[in-house]
Structure 1
Amino acid sequence: MKLSIAFVILLAFQGHGHAQAWKKIESIKLNNPANQVSIDRQGNLYVSTLNGSIDKYNASGSLQSHYSPSKRSTPQLIEAWQGLRVFAFYKDFQEYSFFDRFLSSSERYAINNQKIVSYASLATVAADNNIWVLDAQGFTLKKVDVNNNEVISETNLSLVLSKKRYEFSFLREYQNLLFINDKNNGVLVFDNLGNYLETLPLFNLDFFSFKDSSLISIQNGNLVYFDIYTKQKKEVSLPDPSYTFVLMENKRVFLFSKTTLDIFELN
């Protein structure tokens, strides 16, 4: 009885009549403290660190590949949802790179090599294999054709944001939509041409990911689901409030602290 209580915790959705069970599958001590995380379509996990190394784990938590950079730099963002390649953006060097599934790196590319971007504060890969860039100096969102080094679309963000204060921390393309996290204004949503659509009322986030139609995040010790279409919000208390990142694949939930990856099933 004590063993089952230790590994299965019943938690209820706020405002809903059914309960869900957290069942811990595995706990893995990370080789290096997690600074950014991502997941591909096969459920493989990618963890980057402050010194620029990237580790790939499978869905069971086994280490598959390791990348150690030739020059020390911290990835501002990593993105693995394309599956066959992993994108990394290095803000300090204003460069980006692609890795294959074995974490073999391509050369790094300058993000402002044709002066099409003044200073990139964030960048991520798009579904059409181009890249989205937040140009901090021009205060614009740009989609950049990486083959021709030209801007495909450009959106003036001063026409979108109602508050003068802004703090962009993360962006991700999902289901032909681009989501940009602004801690002060919420999560801004754009279409795949860079046209502003709406702002989701989710504030003070550092990171988010997706599961089906839900944007998922961690807030105040809770796992938060926000349906991007119906706008319904659900919260589940986490087994430990110290987790900083959450990723999901099917019924598995991957929760990261700085030094640990805990794998749960949520039923």
Structure 2
Amino acid sequence: MAQTTAPAADSVAPAGQAAPVVSLPGTAAPAGAGWQLVRTISLPQPGAASLDRRGNFYVTDAQNNLHQYSPDGQALNTYSPAQPGHTMQVEAWNTAKVLVFYDDRQQLVLLDRFLAPISELALPEYLDGQARVATLAPDDRFWLLNESDLTLRQLDVNQKRFTITTPLDLLIGRSRPDFRFLREYQNNLYLVDRTSGVYVFDNLGNYRKKLPFTGLTHVGFRGDELYYQTADEVHFFHLYTFQERMLRLPVAGATQVLMSEQYLYLSLPTGVQVYKM
């Protein structure tokens, strides 16, 4: 049963208090240390990006076409939407499908692994309000953040109803949130608020804690670590030991960073640089 009020956090940090972070001693590795540039992808103004479990890289261009590349940056497939729209989020971690969320026209598009369309979903048919971010949930469901009433919702399209609704007003308080990203990973749901940090929920939508990482528009996951970019470094936060480490990027000026087990992808104004680690 979904919660209708913000619960006490018990052993985790409450909404108004950030969870603890343990920083490891030492400094970041020097810029360029251990990086090998293997490819430069020419793609002006790269946008939303994602990785799948096979290490393939997905990124949108200025015209909101979605490009798929092999782990080392070789072009594979391209999806061009039938209608113009702004791509807010791409999620490719699911083994069978890729989610593309167009926030301006409030539409979810599912693609197969070759970027062929599977289905489309018009959110106004289900949601009374405006979805700010969206991502995939298990069993062909979707997580949505309804910005109009500040609720986190799970949508079951087969049942044509919301199976989970979690109000966020008590968590947010008087702050003015700026939600940018939503992702389910290892049975937890991570909601990035650029203003106050990263809210963490379990897979039933129950609030767990808030991580004190502000100013972010995106987070990634690699093994048991969450990572995010600050200036010219990547910070890693271990999800279970709460230890933090950082790594200097090989070049400055990246607008987004994604990391697989072997490769680093840096989005720059003129394209994407692929480095082997």
TM-score by length of 1: 0.89
Whether the 8 Å contact between 2:35 and 2:250 is mirrored in structure 1 is no
- Equivalent residues of 1:141, 1:156 under 8 A apart: yes
Match runs of 1:50-129 below 5 Å:
50-114=62-126, 116-129=127-140
Task: Indicate the larger mover: 216-225 or 34-43.
Answer: 216-225
Partner of 1:175: 186
Tell me, yes or no, if structure 1 residue 209 matches structure 2 residue 226.
no
Q: Is the 8 A contact 1:50 1:75 kept in 2?
A: no
Q: Residue 232 of structure 1 aligns to which amino acid in structure 2? A: Q
Equivalent residue, structure 1, for 2:25: 15
Q: Is the 8 A contact 1:35 1:258 kept in 2?
A: no
Structure with more relative contact order (C-alpha pairs < 8 Å, separation 6 or more): 2
CA shift, 1:32, in A, is 4.5
Q: SS at 1:112's partner residue? A: helix
Deviation at 1:70, TM superposition (A): 1.5
Q: How many residues align?
A: 253
> In the aligned structure 1, how far is the partner of 2:252 from the partner of 2:89?
23
Residue 9 of structure 1 is matched in structure 2 by none
Q: Which moved more, 1:132-141 or 1:116-125?
A: 116-125
What is the aligned counterpart of 2:243 among 215, 232, 235? 232
Q: Is residue 141 from structure 1 mapped to residue 131 from structure 2 by the alignment? A: no
- Tell me the equivalent position of 1:40: 52
- For 1:220 and 1:121, the matched residues in 2 are separated by 25
Distance in 1 (alpha carbons) for counterparts of 2:223 and 2:95: 17
CA deviations over 1:152-177 (Å, ceiling 9, x no partner): 11111012124421100111110011
Give the residue type in structure 2 aligned to 1:35. Answer: G
Which residue identity is paired with 2:230? Answer: Q
In the alignment, the residues of structure 2 paired with residue 113 and residue 78 of structure 1 have an alpha-carbon distance, to the nearest angstrom, of 21
Quote the Cα distance in structure 1 between the aligned partners of 2:42 and 2:219: 20
- AA of the residue aligned to 2:111: F
- Contact conserved, 1:24 with 1:262, CA < 8 A, in 2? no
Q: Deviations over 1:14-48 (max 9, x none)?
A: 72389583222313233453110000000000011
- Identity rate of aligned residues, in percent? 32
The answer to whether the Cα contact below 8 Å between 1:120 and 1:133 also exists between their aligned partners in 2 is yes
For 1:189, the equivalent position in structure 2 comes to 200
The structure-2 alpha-carbon separation of the partners of 1:240 and 1:46, relative to structure 1 and needing over 3 Å to count, comes to same
One-letter identity of the residue aligned with 1:138? D
In the superposition, the TM-score normalised over structure 2's length comes to 0.86
Unaligned runs of 5+ in 2: 1-22
**Partner of residue 164, structure 1:** 175
In structure 1, stretches of 5+ residues that fail to align are 1-12
Correspondences of 1:245-260 after superposition (within 5 Å): 245-260=256-271
Q: CA deviation at 1:122?
A: 1.1
- Rounded Cα–Cα distance in structure 1 between residues aligned with 2:150 and 2:187: 22
Against the structure 1 CA distance between its residues 219 and 63, is the aligned structure 2 distance closer, same or farther, given a 3 Å change threshold? Answer: same
Partner of residue 152, structure 1: 163
